[in-house]
Structure formats: structure tokens, C-alpha cells
Structure 1
Amino acid sequence: MHAAATEAQSAALRTLLRSFGQIVLQPNAFTGASLLAAWLLCDPRLACAALMGAVAANVSALLAGYQSDDTRAGLHGFNGALAGLAAFSFIADNATAAAVAILAATATAWLLEPWSRWLRARGLGVFSSPCLIITWLWLPLVTRVAQTASLTTEPTLGAAQLSRGWLAGFAQTGFASGALPGLLVLIGIAAASRRHALWALVGAGLASAMHLLLGASASSFDAGLLGFNGTLTAIALADCGIAVTLGGVVLSVVLQAAAAYYALPAMTAPFVLATWSMQWLTSRFTHGAAVAEPAKRAAAGRRVTSPASVRRAG
């Protein structure tokens, strides 16, 4: 009996940690533990927010009868964790933030199943879209505004500052900040997939460089606000080829710059929209190639067996 209870507790802990790992698209408990450590190092309030949101979403998924395999993989909990993090990032009062976090996380769990079915039918991933939808619904009700990338120019960045800002972009994938928390997140990604970690570095570096060239401020770079959408986009598209991945990162930069210009709380929307766009384009080209290839073979066959060809062959 004691062994069974211990195993159940261990499974629940792994599910919780995988929910955190899915924030950076890694269904890995060690990755989740790395994110948890990053939150604790940056601000224990964030760790509480993520725990609160993930637990609420996972419990709601179980009560709704969703597939247990998906729950164990962290697919039902990570949007809840993000919803909790968003609540505590935008709302200063802890009691209000906690109430909103639980309600928003529960709502993401209820939304996830029908929304993901609709997206899968169109060849698109769900990513953090449930969190975005729910957060945008309640966000107009609060007055605290998220920090956005500034468009004012500042002096040239030094090598140390470049390294810190580059790593801070990894921390911002989970609403944290700072180079050391970002390094912990990068280590967690690398533990699950060194290839994804390499692409994450490329995505963060390319996105940050483009934002700085577009006139974003050094303070935004230091906070990691310029690289996190590029990081997530690069990981999401890493298996789609170099051109698609880099194109997605560039598109995420354009979308984030546009949101910053209009002072919109984009959060991870540039990552989601850029990835959806590249997935849609890839599926269109793949479908077109799949349709065109049999037509080419049929046309070639018709040319070979045409009467003129037969007469020449004879």
C-alpha cells in the first residue's frame, strides 16, 4: 500500500514537472524542474503561480475525462501554468492574482480539448494559444500593464551585456527574467534535446539582433523581452528545415515589433502566429507537391505511350 502511494505521488510529480517542461515544448520532467528552479531563483511568487495554475489545469482535465496520456505528458497542465504566471505578472495583489490564476487555468483546461481538435484538423499546433485567449479576456479588467519592448535607441551593448540579454530571453519564456534563470532554462532544454537547445540559441540570438536593429532598447534586451518569441518559434519549427525555422523566427520578430509599436500585450502571440503561419505554408507546399508529383508521372507516361512516340519507336 505504501509503495503504491509512493508511486502515485511520484507519477503526479512527474506530470507536474512535464507540464512546466511543455512551456518550452519539452515533455521532460528534468526540463520542468529546471524551469521551477529558474522561477524560484528569479521570484518565488512565479513558482507559486506556475504550481497553482498547473495543478488547477491538470485536476480540471482529469475531472473532464480527458486522455490520461496527454495529461501525464504535461499537455493539459502547461497552459494552466502559463495562465497562472500571466495572472501574477499582470496583477499586483496576490489574493486577486491567485483567484484569477485558478479560474484562468481551469478555463484553459476546458478550452484545450475542443480548441486543439479544431487546430489539428487544420494541421496546426495548439501551443500557448489557450492561455493567450483566456488572458486577453480578463486582461482589460486590470490596470497594470505588461512591460513591452521600447523603440528608443541606446548605446552599443558590450559582450557581457550581450551574453546576459541572450540568456535572459530563455527566462522570459516562463515570465521570469535574468541571465542565471535563463541559463537554467537552457540547461533544461538541452537535457531533453541538444538539437532543440541549439536552435533555441539561434532563435534567441537572431530575434534579439533583429529587434536591436529595428531600434529596440538595450533595457528590453537585458530583460530578455527581445528573444523569447524567437526562442520558442525556433524550437517549434526545428524539425521543419532551416529555411522554415529561420523564416518563422523572422516573422515572429515582425509580429512582436508591430505589437510593441501599438503597445499591445502580445506575450507569446508572435511565436504562436509565426509558427502557425509557417506550418500552414509548409502544409500547402507539401500538399501541392504531393498532388503535382502523380500528375507529372501520369503526364510522363502519356508522353511515352503517345501514338507519335510509338510510331517513332517502331
Structure 2
Amino acid sequence: MSSPATVRAASADSAASLAEPLRTLLRSLGQIVLQKHAGTGACVLAALALCDWRLACAALMGAAAANVCALLGRAPFDAIRDGLAGFNGALAGLAAFTFAADTATAFALALLAAAFSAWIGTPMVRGLGRVRLAVYSAPCLAATWLWMALGASGEHAALTPVSVPTALNAADAFAGLMSGVAQTVFASGTLPGIVLLAGIAWSSRRAAAYALGGAALASVLEYLAGAPPASFAAGLCGFNGALAALAASALGPRAAICATMLAAALHLAASRLGLPAMTAPFALAGWCVHLAWRLPLRPRQPTTPTARQES
């Protein structure tokens, strides 16, 4: 018969063995908003559950599938542990449950897209790493656009026509801003946005400020440019700006503002063309700003002294 001390030791070992995979899963969710923090991931999960419990399940399922596939594909262990191998799978699962026609189709597409994102994620990371760029959501975008192009999602909803902006009161503006933060993880609503912003602040208050500022700037720019009020209210005008600001935050405020403005312009153009851009504007803006900030500034030519100056 086992002694109480042996039972307690076995229980502690079992809890420790389960804790690390759970932290890895939560870090995968946190990496959706560019934060390597399990607490941020827990808040992402809570925000999704507040919006729709199916989204929370989709994110967990996608992240778990991607992490398993990355492990089988011998991806770097550090990348898996930090959540970098799983967050695109979580995004792929969220995209499937957002755009698929029915739950059964969404379930199948979530698993397939998450596995595919993990499969192509490693070579994408290596390729972009050669030019010192992050992969961002490129694997998820590739997987989702593939099944969309194959018509696996069924009929798409018609694009909301562009209308002239109408006046918003402070409550509506705040709700749209918080929805813009929430839409970074395919959620919507004031409370999910607040919970998600708190999760980012749990990891970094500076990052939370950039996310909020990016969402606000992009929302205002797209709204003034003629985005439908319904899109503003749902947060569709702000989420690419929030992510772009986070992506460029390491370069400073000017870079974050430039990235946010570029992401807003790209998202608005894609919306006008009826293209399912999702997070592509943020990824493109992040890459462009990081590349632009590496360009060497042309040094000023020294002024050659004139004969009068020499004398």
C-alpha cells in the first residue's frame, strides 16, 4: 500500500506534467495577439467564450491540432513551447467556425486547416526568418484561402454596401472600439474586447496601449473613409490596426502609426473589392514597416568650404 507521501508526490508529478502542455496551449492563444503569455491566452479564451462558446472550442481545437502536428513534424521545441507553432492553428479553427456554412463542416475544416497551417508554418518561418521577418498569420491565411477557393464553406454572405458615415455617440464609439480589439481573435462585443485588452495588459501594459491606439486610429480612418456603420460597430474597422500597431510597436510610436494607417488602407481596399482579407492587411503592413525601418538613411553630403570660407 502506498504511503500518503508517495501519493502526494505522484499527484504533484502528474499536475506538473499536465501544467506545461496547458501553458503551451494558452501561450498559443496569447500569440494571436503577439503575446507569449499564458495569462493573455486565458483571457483570449474567456473573451471567445463570452462571445460564443463554439469559438472558444474552435481556438482550443485548432491550437491543439497544430501543436501536435508541429511536434510530429519535428518543429523546434522552443517554438512549440512559446506558442509560435499553435497560434496559426487556433486562428485557422476560428476562421473555419466563422466562415463555414454549418457546424459539421466547420469542425472538419478547423482540423484540416490547423494541420495544414502547422505543415506549411515551419518552412514559412524559415523563409521569412532569412529576411528577419515574423510569419504572423500567413499560414492561417494560406490554409483558409485554400478551402475558401475550393468552395468548402458554401455560400458567402453578401458584402455590406458602403454608406455615408452617420454620427455616433460616445457609447457607440466605445463599443465599436472594444469590438475592434475583440475582432483580433474573431470575437465581437464590448465585454469580450475589455477582457482581451486586460489580457494583453497582463502581459504588457505598453502592448495594450498600442493595441488600443491602433484599433482607435484604424477605426476612425476607415469610418471617415466611408466604411459602413455596421462594420464599425462590429469592430471590423479596427482589428487590423490593433494587430499592426502591436507588430510594429518594437520600432516605436512612429512605426506603429505608419503600420496602422497602412493596415487600415489595405483593409478598406480589400473590403471595397469584396476580398476576404481577414488579417492579411496587418501582416503586409507589419512586413512593410519592418523592411522600411531597415533602409539606411542617406547621409548628408558634407558642405565643401568655398574659397572665401577657407580664407
TM-score w.r.t. length of structure 1: 0.89
1:135 and 1:26, CA in 2 relative to 1: closer, same or farther beyond 3 A?
same
Q: 1:6-25 residue pairs with structure 2 within 5 A?
A: 6-25=15-34
User: Of residues 82, 87, 91 in structure 1, which corresponds to 2:96?
Assistant: 87
8 Å Cα contact 2:165-2:224 kept in structure 1? no
User: Of residues 198, 201, 204 in structure 1, which corresponds to 2:215?
Assistant: 204
Deviations 1:147-186 (A, max 9, x none): 8664212420000000000000111001111010011110
Report the equivalent of 2:123: 114
Match for 2:68: what amino acid?
Answer: V
Q: Note if 1:39 corresponds to 2:48.
A: yes
User: Partners of 2:290 and 2:111 in 1: how far apart?
Assistant: 32
Q: Note if 1:173 corresponds to 2:192.
A: no
User: Partners of 1:254 and 1:153 in 2: how far apart?
Assistant: 17
Higher normalized helix content (fraction of residues): 1
Report the equivalent of 2:201: 190
Secondary structure at the counterpart of residue 15 of structure 1: helix
Match for 2:126: what amino acid?
Answer: R
8 Å Cα contact 1:149-1:216 kept in structure 2? no
1:167 and 1:132, CA in 2 relative to 1: closer, same or farther beyond 3 A?
same
User: Partners of 1:33 and 1:117 in 2: how far apart?
Assistant: 29
Q: Note if 1:256 corresponds to 2:264.
A: no
Match for 1:211: what amino acid?
Answer: E
25-34 vs 92-101, greater mean Cα deviation? 92-101
Q: Note if 1:70 corresponds to 2:69.
A: no
TM-score w.r.t. length of structure 2: 0.90
Gaps of 5+ in 2: 1-9, 305-309
User: Partners of 2:73 and 2:13 in 1: how far apart?
Assistant: 24
Q: Note if 1:134 corresponds to 2:143.
A: yes
Deviations 1:165-209 (A, max 9, x none): 000011100111101001111000011010011111110110000
Gaps of 5+ in 1: 304-311
Report the equivalent of 2:284: 273
1:29 and 1:116, CA in 2 relative to 1: closer, same or farther beyond 3 A?
same
1:192 and 1:106, CA in 2 relative to 1: closer, same or farther beyond 3 A?
same
Q: 1:47-58 residue pairs with structure 2 within 5 A?
A: 47-58=56-67
Q: Provide the identity percentage.
A: 49
Q: CA deviation at 1:93?
A: 1.5
Deviations 1:255-296 (A, max 9, x none): 0011001000000000000111111111223xx56xx69xx8
8 Å Cα contact 1:89-1:146 kept in structure 2? no
Report the equivalent of 1:307: none
Report the equivalent of 1:145: 156
The root-mean-square deviation of aligned C-alpha atoms, in Å, is: 1.9
